[in-house]
Amino acid sequence: MTLEGTNTYIYGEGPCAVIDPGSEDAGHLEAIRAAAGERGGIGLVLLTHSHGDHTAGADQLGAEVVLPAGGETHAGLRVLATPGHAADHVCFLSDDGVCFSGDLVLGLGSTIVPPGDNSLTAFMASLRLLQAKEIELMAPGHGPWITDPAAKLAEYVEHREMRERRLLAALERGERSRAALLAEAWDDIPIELLPMAAMAMEAHLEKLEGEGRLPDGLDE
C-alpha cells in the first residue's frame, strides 16, 4: 500500500528540515541523521499528515516535530491545507516551485480517499488548489518524483470525475444495489482491489449526497 515505502525528504541547510521521516527503523533514522549532518543538522521535523507510515520515527530525531496548518511558513516552505486523504493533510511549497505532496498525489497510482467528513469533496478542492499554484516539480510521499505536475494533477482530477460519471450513469438508470454499482463503475480493476474500490465508492456516494445528487432507495 506504500509502493516501495515512504519517501523522506531533507530540505534546506544550516540546519535543515526533515519532511515525513516515516519508518522508525534504526538504519533509516541513522541515514537521515547522516544526510542532515552534512547540511548543518536537523532543525525541524515537518509532517504532511498524521498517518503512521509518515510519522513513526519523527520523535526520534531530536528536533521539534510539527504538523502545521495551512497558511503557515516553516523552514522557508509555505504550508497549504490539502485535506482529503486525511483531514489534517498539508502540502509544502517552496519558492522555486517544488511541492512536497505527501499522500495527496502519489508518484504511481491513485491515493486512498476514505469516506467520512465529505473527504472526496475536500480532496477534489485540494487538487484544484494545487492546480492554481506554479509547481515545477512534485515530491510525493510514495513513488518517484513527478516531473510534470500539471499533467499528473489533471490525471487525478479526471480519474475521480470518470468514476463519478460512471456511478451517476448507473444510478440514473435506476440501479440501487451497492454491489452492482461497484461492479459497473469499477469493472476495470483486479478483484483483489475491490475492497479498496468499495471504500472509494462510499466516498463518491457521500459526495453526491452532500451535493443533493444521490437518489433515494440505495441499499445498505
Tens digit of pLDDT for each residue in 69-109? 999 999 999 999 999 999 999 999 999 999 999 999 999 99
Q: How far apart are CA 63 and CA 41, in angstroms?
A: 10
- Of the pLDDT bands very low, low, confident and very high (cuts 50, 70, 90), residue 5 is confident
Q: How far apart are CA 40 and CA 164, in angstroms?
A: 48
173: left (phi over 0), alpha (psi -120 to 50) or beta: alpha
Residue 171 lies in a domain: yes
Domain housing 201: 9-210
Which residues have C-beta within 8 Å of that of residue 74, sequence separation ≥ 6? 17, 44, 46, 66, 68, 92
Q: How far apart are CA 83 and CA 117, in angstroms?
A: 10
Residue 1 lies in a domain: no
- Of the pLDDT bands very low, low, confident and very high (cuts 50, 70, 90), residue 219 is confident
Residue 4 lies in a domain: no
With a pLDDT cut of 90, the percent of the chain lying above it is 95
Residue 22 lies in a domain: yes
Residue 108 lies in a domain: yes
What average pLDDT does range 180-188 have in this prediction? Answer: 96
Q: Determine whether 88 is an active site residue.
A: no
Check 25, 53, 96, 187 and give the catalytic one: 53
**In 3D, which of 168, 166, 160, 165 has the Cα closest to residue 128?**
160
H or E element at residue 179 = helix 178-185
Residue 140 lies in a domain: yes
Residue 217 lies in a domain: no
**Domain CATH code at residue 30:** 3.60.15.10
C-alpha cell at 160: 475521480
How confident is the model over 108-132, as pLDDT tens digits?
999 999 999 899 999 999 999 999 9
Residue 170 lies in a domain: yes
Number of domains into which the chain is organized:
1
